[in-house]
């Protein structure tokens, strides 16, 4: 009898030693699914990009580049560069016919030793085929020689010679050399629109003493 009791104890102890412990049951969320571990916080070294939002919480679009600033109107020194040598105003073709000369004034020149020989000009607007000039206004006259310029836009001395010619007289201009070439540009107003007319390579004549 004692032998049977001892065998039963040995068998029960062996079965207890061979059995494995059960794994712990994972926690369960309120929805009945296993809870997932919380994500780790971003490290300090990771770059974070901030996105600006508007009042509705939507990301703002990058600002569009500003429109290009319009270019300014051509300077007086550019008037003659793109102007034509003749204009058709209505049915009339208008050109320039200019003359340049020097006049000596009884004053001391820039070097302090000689009188000043100042430039004078007669700039004439004329028509072809003996047609009368249309109604127009002369706004300014520009004379160019190299990098130098003589711009006249106030108190213009304008004279009409009949219906075919309109003359602008200029006096006491720069001391340019006789025999040198000058470009002349005239800015006109015709029917509310500004137009330009040019004459190239007008030669400065010799000194005049009688006018």
Count of C-beta atoms within a 10 Å radius of residue 139: 14
At residue 111, the pLDDT reads: 60
Class of domain 76-208: mainly beta
Q: Where are the domains of the chain?
A: 76-208
Burial (Cβ within 10 Å: 0-12, 13-18, ≥19) of residue 118: middle
Q: Read off the pLDDT of residues 75-127 as tens digits, 9 standing for 90 and up.
A: 555 665 677 899 999 889 999 999 999 998 766 555 665 667 899 999 999 99
Flag whether pLDDT at 11 surpasses 80: no
Minimal CA–CA distance to 186: which of 131, 128, 129, 121? 121
């Amino acid at each position: 009898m004692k032998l049977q009791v001892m065998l039963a104890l040995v068998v029960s102890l062996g079965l207890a030693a061979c059995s494995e412990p059960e794994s712990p049951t994972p926690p369960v969320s309120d929805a009945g699914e296993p809870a997932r571990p919380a994500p780790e916080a971003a490290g300090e070294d990771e770059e974070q990009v901030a996105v600006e939002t508007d009042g509705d919480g939507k990301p703002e679009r990058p600002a569009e580049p500003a429109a290009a600033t319009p270019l300014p109107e051509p300077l007086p020194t550019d008037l003659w560069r793109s102007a034509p040598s003749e204009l058709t105003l209505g049915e009339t073709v208008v050109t320039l016919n200019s003359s340049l000369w020097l006049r000596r004034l009884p004053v001391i020149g820039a070097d302090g030793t000689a009188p000043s020989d100042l430039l004078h000009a007669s700039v004439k607007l004329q028509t072809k085929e003996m047609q009368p000039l249309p109604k127009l206004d002369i706004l300014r006259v520009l004379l160019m020689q190299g990098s130098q310029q003589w711009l006249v836009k106030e108190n213009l001395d304008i004279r009409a010679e009949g219906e075919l010619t309109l003359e602008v007289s200029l006096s006491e201009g720069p001391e340019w050399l006789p025999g040198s070439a000058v470009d002349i540009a005239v800015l006109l107003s015709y029917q509310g629109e500004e137009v330009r007319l040019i004459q190239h390579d007008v030669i400065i004549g010799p000194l005049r003493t009688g006018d």
